[in-house]
């Protein structure tokens, strides 16, 4: 027989709220850990970008290709003539801002 007394229902509700709160806390901890990992990756990416900054071709921003408008007004993609498509050059001091 199902007990439908008020006290029992309130106790069931209290247990469900506790269970829900526990799940919320666990989810928040997992999200915080993921955020910490994302922050670490962002930091590592920033370090790599800074380390490579002096070697990234300023003409093509490291892509190795440049877009130019041809005589007919159409955009075309060409290999960067400064880095020959590698995206990497030894930059001169005047290139570095
Ligand atoms: Zn280039």
Instruction: Please list, residue by residue across 19-47, b when 16 or more beta carbons sit within 10 angstroms of its beta carbon and e when fewer do.
Output: eeeeeeeeeeeeeeeeeeeeeeeeeeeee
Q: Chain-wide mean pLDDT for the chain? A: 90
24 CA to centre of ligand 1 in angstroms: 50
Cβ pair 88, 56 in contact under 8 A? yes
- List pLDDT tens digits, range 7-37: 999 999 999 999 999 999 999 999 999 999 9
Is pLDDT of 59 > 90?
A: yes
Q: How far is 56 from 52, CA to CA, in rounded Å?
A: 6
76 CA to centre of ligand 1 in angstroms: 15
56 CA to centre of ligand 1 in angstroms: 8
Residue 94 pLDDT class (50, 70, 90 cuts): low
37 CA to centre of ligand 1 in angstroms: 32
Q: How far is 54 from 66, CA to CA, in rounded Å?
A: 19
pTM (2 decimals)? Answer: 0.53
Q: What is the pLDDT of residue 60?
A: 94
């Amino acid at each position: 027989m199902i007990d439908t007394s008020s006290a029992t229902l309130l106790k069931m509700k209290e247990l469900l709220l506790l269970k829900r709160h526990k799940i919320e806390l666990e989810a928040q901890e997992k999200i915080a850990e993921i955020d910490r990992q994302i922050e670490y990756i962002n930091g590592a990416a920033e370090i790599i970008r800074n380390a490579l900054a002096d070697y990234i071709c300023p003409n093509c921003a490291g892509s190795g290709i440049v877009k130019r408008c041809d005589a007919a007004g159409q955009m075309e993609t060409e290999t960067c003539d400064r880095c020959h498509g590698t995206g990497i050059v030894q930059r001169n001091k005047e290139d570095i801002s």
